[in-house]
Amino acid sequence: MEPTTKASNPFPIAIAQMPITGNARINGHKIRELMHEAASGGARLIQFPEGALSGYAKNPIQDWAEVDWQIVREELLAIIALAAQLKIWVILGSAHPLTPPHWPHNSLYIISDEGQVINRYDKRICSYTEVTRFYTPGTEPVIFDIDGFRFGCIICVEINFPQLFMEYDQLGVDCLLLSAYPIDKIFYTKAVAHAAIHNYWIALSVPSECTPLMMSSLIGPDGLTLNSIKTGEGLVITSMDKNAPELDIALYKARPWRSSINTKDLYKTRHLNDARSTNRTCI
């Protein structure tokens, strides 16, 4: 893991919460409306929920035959063009169609402030229903850097697999972008725990349909919620500041120490030559 450095300005991030329909025209219009709001608020990046553009399978999409992929593509191109116009990065949840008969990936498009899709994260661990009826799993983690901050991407049910969060810790991310469509309240507790354990920010973007369960939020490297959306629809803009005094322990003491224990001699006692250590029945 590369050490977190203090030499950076605060990074303003916008996290969206929006209704997700099965109509990409409606979804695309709302996405661009929120992009304008985020840019006006000074955000460098805006993150959207899982399936925000295409619609998410199971709810509201029941079958891929319902989806007009040409409309999805047209709306995606309009969003890419607007990202360049507004000079804002966009993390956009959408199904990504593959060559038939393969099912789509469940993806996050990483769109730069120059209007380029620089990468795409494809959900690697899909739920049983997803993998048997709707989606083709991806294979790789994705990281990218903006203004001295390193970002990674993860989607929904992957929150239940600690190895993915450990992997991103080892890749040196400062912020993990978690786009989701949660179905239970414990999901938020899990997100908080991962942020506190790995000492990186977690940006959680969920659709308006999840309002009874949780709000889109930015969780700090100490596991504390920094800011949340106050209503069921809109966005929240919050700055991530590596120089914040209250994060000194989490970023510059706890995280480096936790990542070093596998290499420190202090913990290498397996071959300790002491009978009182190897005999676990002695008193």
DSSP state string for 42-111 = T-SEEE--TTTTT--BTTTBS-GGG--HHHHHHHHHHHHHHHHHHT-EEEEEEEE--STTSPPEEEEEEE
Instruction: Give every CB contact of residue 67 below 8 A, 6+ residues apart in sequence.
Output: 22, 24, 54, 55, 61, 95
At residue 1, the pLDDT reads 55
Query: Which amino acid would we find at residue 266?
Result: L
Positions of the chain with pLDDT under 70: 1-7
Helix (H, G, I), strand (E, B) or coil at 240: strand
Beta strands, E only, 147-199: 149-155, 175-179
| Interatomic CA distance for residues 205 and 223, integer angstroms | 16
At residue 233, the pLDDT reads 95
Is pTM beyond 0.75 here? yes
Sign of the torsion angle spanned by Cα atoms 42, 94, 123, 96 = negative
Residues forming a β-bridge with 116: none
For the chain, the first-to-last Cα distance in angstroms comes to: 41
Q: In what order do the strands lie in the sheet with 149-155?
A: 143-146, 149-155, 175-179, 201-205, 217-219, 225-228
At residue 269, the pLDDT reads 72
**Closest to 205 in 3D by CA, of 23, 57, 13, 37:** 13
Q: Which CATH superfamily is domain 11-266 in?
A: Carbon-nitrogen hydrolase (3.60.110.10)
Give the CA distances from residue 34 to residues 86, 117, 215, in Å, rounded to whole numbers and listed in that order: 12, 19, 16
